[in-house]
């Protein structure tokens, strides 16, 4: 466990309710769409409250330069980026240390569910852009990227679903918004294969007791399954229209 300076005098729970009116184990309003970018092989838009991520998949396609190719399997490349207008204070355009780190985290959460062995010497490229940021951007990005891969027809063992959980004002919660992310005591990100129940990502900042950790882990898995059902519903409805 890691202790960091998240604590603040900001009151995040008032009369048993969070600042946005939610209960402790309640997701924000969720919206999911696929096929939002015509020029991509597959694409998706996912919104959790005021956090909006759009993902585009290109490939599989031959990887250049050739010295990067792997003869046994293809590779997955992920680029996560926050648009300059996604936050209140304009963000400098281009990659930074945080976006590079989250790109690697997303790739790690996704690559084991993709049958990369079917695409030797090829690459599958995933681009995720955060259009609006209000907390939990990495898990929103993972959900969008997973949907975009499915919409691109990439062979996958399962969909990957992700959510955030944490601790604010001594209360355990799910789906952190921006203020809860910035001023809470602990935040945790979890991604899992919805059908297989295999965890593909677990990151935590802050301090929890063993009991609190187990409870938050249960919250995270429970809500990942809800998100998994929404992902499946989004795909089924899109194919019905086609």
- CA-CA distance, 133 to 59, in Å (whole number)? 27
pLDDT exceeds cutoff 80 at 187: yes
pLDDT exceeds cutoff 70 at 11: yes
Percent of the chain having pLDDT more than 70? Answer: 93
Asked whether residue 6 is assigned to any structural domain, the reply reads: no
Q: What is the mean pLDDT of residues 230-236?
A: 97
User: What's residue 68's pLDDT?
Assistant: 80
More confident residue, 64 or 61: 61
User: What's residue 224's pLDDT?
Assistant: 98
Asked whether residue 186 is assigned to any structural domain, the reply reads: yes
Strand 122-132's sheet: what is its strand order?
A: 30-34, 42-48, 51-62, 122-132, 75-82
Asked whether residue 168 is assigned to any structural domain, the reply reads: yes
Asked whether residue 204 is assigned to any structural domain, the reply reads: yes
User: What's residue 158's pLDDT?
Assistant: 98
Q: What is the mean pLDDT of residues 51-64?
A: 96
Asked whether residue 174 is assigned to any structural domain, the reply reads: yes
User: What's residue 160's pLDDT?
Assistant: 98
pLDDT exceeds cutoff 60 at 138: yes
Instruction: Report pLDDT digits (tens) over 69-99.
Output: 888 999 999 999 999 889 876 666 667 889 9
Handedness of CA 120, 232, 227, 148 (dihedral sign): positive
Range(s) of the domain holding residue 46: 13-241
Query: How many structural domains does the chain have?
Result: 1
Q: What is the mean pLDDT of residues 175-183?
A: 96
User: What's residue 206's pLDDT?
Assistant: 95
Asked whether residue 5 is assigned to any structural domain, the reply reads: no
User: What's residue 15's pLDDT?
Assistant: 86
End-to-end CA distance of the chain: 48
Q: What are the b/e assignments for 46-65, b being 16+ CB within 10 Å? A: bbbbebbbbbbbbbbeebee
CB 159 within 8 A of CB 115: no
Instruction: Report pLDDT digits (tens) over 25-46.
Output: 999 999 999 999 999 999 999 9
- Looking up residue 235, the CATH number of its domain turns out to be 3.30.230.70
Asked whether residue 2 is assigned to any structural domain, the reply reads: no
The two three-digit tokens of residue 165, written as one number: 């959980």
* pTM given for the model: 0.92
Asked whether residue 4 is assigned to any structural domain, the reply reads: no
pLDDT exceeds cutoff 70 at 148: yes
pLDDT exceeds cutoff 90 at 47: yes
Indicate the range of 173-177, 194-198, 211-215 predicted with least confidence: 194-198
């Amino acid at each position: 466990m890691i202790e960091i300076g998240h604590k603040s005098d900001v009151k995040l729970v008032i009369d048993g309710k969070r600042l946005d009116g939610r209960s402790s184990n309640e997701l924000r309003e969720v919206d999911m769409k696929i096929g939002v970018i015509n020029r991509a092989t597959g694409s998706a838009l996912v919104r959790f409250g005021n956090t909006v991520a759009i993902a585009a998949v290109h490939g599989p396609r031959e990887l250049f330069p050739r010295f990067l190719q792997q003869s046994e399997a293809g590779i997955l490349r992920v680029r996560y980026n926050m648009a300059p207008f996604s936050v209140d204070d304009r963000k400098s355009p281009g990659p930074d240390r945080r976006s590079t780190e989250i790109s690697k985290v997303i790739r790690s959460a996704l690559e084991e569910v993709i049958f990369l062995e079917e695409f030797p010497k090829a690459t599958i490229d995933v681009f995720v852009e955060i259009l609006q940021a209000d907390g939990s951007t990495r898990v929103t990005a993972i959900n969008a990227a997973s949907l975009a891969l499915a919409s691109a027809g990439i062979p996958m063992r399962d969909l990957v679903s992700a959510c955030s959980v944490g601790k604010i004002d001594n209360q355990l919660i799910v789906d952190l918004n921006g203020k809860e992310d910035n001023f809470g005591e602990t935040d945790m990100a979890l991604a899992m294969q919805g059908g297989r129940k295999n965890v593909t990502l677990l990151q935590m900042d802050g301090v929890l007791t063993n009991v609190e950790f187990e409870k938050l882990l249960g919250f995270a898995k429970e809500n990942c399954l809800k998100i998994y059902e929404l992902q499946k519903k989004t795909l089924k409805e899109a194919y019905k229209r086609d």
